[in-house]
Chains A and B, each alone.
Chain A
Amino acid sequence: MDTLLIQMLNGVQLGLLMFLLAAGLTLTFGIMDLVNLAHGSLYMMGAYLAWTFIGWTDSFVLGVLLALPATFVLGIVVEAVVVRRLYARDHLDQVLATFGLILFFNELVRAVWGPAGKSIAVPPFLSHTVEILPGVPYSAYRFALIVVGTLVAILLAWLVARTRMGMLIRAGASNRRMIAALGVNIELLFSLVFGLGAVFAGLAGMMAAPIGSVKIGMGDDILILAFVIIVIGGIGSIKGAFIAAMLVGQIDIFGRSYLPDLLKTFLSPATASSAAPAISQMLVYLVMAGVLVWRPTGLFGQRT
């Protein structure tokens, strides 16, 4: 029971991280109609920038606080130099150009930070455990991740649902040309949305760093999971992205922690423990296939 609770919390924490990544992606898809493969590169750059700033300031919090605006600036620069020219292009050109960006960023990181992975230590004030229920200890860092992730998700929901910028974002998602015709500075809006997406991706990278590692291509695998989340949730839907992220988080953790035991009941232990990770990875894709058979535009996507 206790381990079930802990695993579920781990699933929530993973889901929140992926939501941060997927939120920016689904916004750029929905509003700018942009396929951005390089979104995972921003996740990676966020983690590397945080590693550098934490090294300089010798403080986790200060480092992250410095790395966030840096990721924002990076996002704005990428948007101004490359991405802006892609909005009017077809998806294939966008795929090609952002694929080029991935190669560039991966190689840039290798040249600047070296090929070996880096690690960010869990900050000392979060390296203990907290009792979420009497007698059930849980890593304080992971707990903090859940808190921060939830706060950011609420912030994002508030931003999109309650502010003027959010109103423009939603209007842009449903009819881009119309809001441009109504005199909204759509270039500025697009830049801001892209920068915002970059910050969220970077934040996800920074927060994931202490429980994983900071390495080249770290954003690429998780990006594909973020794609799956967006497809399940429906492109352009923040709500869909959130629900799908939670779902994928739970499926992933379930696959990792319970599938080996489940498989051991009818397979040899060695086969079970080696097959389980692969099967748990597959589970997510099978769910996606199921959702698509049922609803080709995702759970909350606009029907075409």
Chain B
Amino acid sequence: MMASLRTPRGLLTVLLLVLFAVLPLLTQAFDQRYLLSIGTRVVIWSIAAVSLNMILGYGGLVSFGHAAFFGIGGYAVGILSASGVASGWVQWPVAIAAAAVWAALIGALSLRTRGVYFLMITLAFAQLVYYVAAGLEVYGGDDGLNIGRSRFPGLINLADKASFYWLCLALLVATLWFCDRFACSRFGFVLRGARSNEQRMTALGFPVFQYRLVAMIISGAFGGLSGALLANEGAYVSPAMMSWVKSGDLIVMVVLGGMGTLLGPLYGAIAFFVLEESLKPLMDLAHKGWGEYWQIVFGPMLVLVALYAKGGIDSLLGRRHG
């Protein structure tokens, strides 16, 4: 622990951990409630980005439909809540299971294809879910659905912003721990091996398809969890949470932070929200009213990241050892 403090990466990690852990106290002390809600969203999106990284980063499979897991997790909570099942003990496992089942279904179909085909098929399947949600008139259709927050009686009250934030943070840490175990396991090594040389792994006797399918299911399950959290954050679900732009945002976070690294998606999610929240006031400062158009600057920044920032934020922190 002390040794890791000497590297920039170790230092940043410890600083982030401390900052994340005390954020609710800070926002309360400075009376900035708004910041806590941004912080909660950063944590939830980080979980989703970490889960996408499992297949995108470690598996090398460019999935452009990850927001569907957001949506399925969110709608599982929303539909159960609207049908009178308020207990989180039921809602959350159902959300995770539903997302995992969807991942198994689309994985079985889309993993038959490669490269660009895979990308477009995952995108198309995500659109399918989007249109299904938009067509669910009973559950709000295009307008979405206001829901009651999941109940964990006697344990935690999710309506309390700080408790909810800490719960999300704990789940993020658990997800990161799992991802670390995942990446270092034999399973993770097979997956990474298939990323660099699929033929060779096949020749070595590994059933690459099955490994990738399981990876997609795990990734989808965590995606479903983040969707359940997102639904609880706003007490609201809508098709917009799984629009294809959200899938794009998730890819941006993973690539911006550093693909195939443990903390990269976390850095990426933080950077994404920090950029969004700081570009607006900065552009307003340059010229009143410009802040609304922050994506005019953000878009070209993504182009520059794609062209010149190989390895993302994680690579700026120096080489990792081991």
Contacts and interface: CB of A to CB of B under 8 A. Distances in A.
A285 B62 contact: no
A85 B299 CA distance: 16
Given A103-B295, A228-B124, A297 B116 contact: no
A237 to B, nearest CB: 13
Contacts of B134: 278
Nearest to B115: A91
A271 B136 CA distance: 9
B75 interface: no
A292 B301 contact: no
Interface stretch (B17-25, B84-92, B125-133, B151-159): B125-133
Contacts of A107: 293-296, 299
A304 B116 CA distance: 13
Nearest to B135: A278
Nearest to A33: B116
B302 A99 contact: yes
B128 A282 contact: yes
B113 A85 contact: no
A81 to B, nearest CB: 9
Interface string B243-282: 0110010011001000100000000000000000000000
Interface in B13-64: 56, 62, 64
B12 to A, nearest CB: 23
A92 B62 contact: yes
A97 B62 contact: no
Contacts of A289: 109, 121, 125
B309 to A, nearest CB: 10
A302 B300 CA distance: 34
B295 A296 contact: no
Given A103-B299, A285-B128, A95 B307 contact: no
Interface residues of B, number: 46
Interface in A93-112: 93-97, 99-108, 110-111
Contacts of B115: 91
Contacts of B123: 224, 227
**Dominant secondary structure at the A interface:** helix
A89 B120 CA distance: 18
Contacts of B116: 29, 35, 91, 235
A235 B115 CA distance: 11
B307 A108 contact: no
A86 B298 contact: no
A144 B160 CA distance: 60
A296 to B, nearest CB: 5
B112 interface: yes
Nearest to A35: B116
A293 to B, nearest CB: 7
Contact of B135 (A95, A279, A298): A279
A304 B127 CA distance: 27
Interface string A266-304: 000011001101110110011011001100111000001
A198 interface: no
B239 to A, nearest CB: 10
B303 A275 contact: no
B119 interface: yes
Contacts of A231: 117, 120-121, 124
A61 interface: no
A10 B43 CA distance: 47
A82 interface: yes
Given A111-B296, A224-B244, A282-B132, A97 B307 contact: yes
Contacts of B109: 289, 292-293
A277 B135 contact: yes
Contacts of A261: none
B255 A104 contact: no
A69 B248 CA distance: 31
Contacts of B171: none
A25 to B, nearest CB: 10
Given A86-B306, A231-B120, A297 B113 contact: yes
A235 B114 CA distance: 12
Contacts of B128: 281-282, 285-286
B137 interface: yes
A99 B115 CA distance: 17
Contacts of A277: 131, 135
A96 B306 contact: yes
A259 to B, nearest CB: 11
A100 B120 contact: no
A100 B300 contact: yes
A227 B118 CA distance: 11
A45 interface: no
B305 interface: yes
A111 B296 CA distance: 9
B124 A285 contact: yes
Given A35-B119, A107-B299, A89 B244 contact: no
A296 B128 CA distance: 19
Nearest to A224: B127
B141 interface: yes
Contacts of A108: 296
A275 B295 contact: no
17 contacts: A29-B116, A92-B251, A100-B301, A100-B306, A101-B299, A103-B295, A104-B300, A104-B303, A111-B296, A235-B116, A274-B141, A281-B131, A285-B128, A292-B109, A292-B112, A296-B112, A296-B113
Interface of A: 29, 35, 37, 82, 85-86, 89, 91-97, 99-108, 110-111, 220, 224, 227-228, 230-231, 235, 270-271, 274-275, 277-279, 281-282, 285-286, 288-289, 292-293, 296-298, 304
Closest 8 CB pairs of A and B: A278-B135, A100-B302, A104-B299, A103-B299, A97-B306, A96-B306, A107-B295, A281-B131
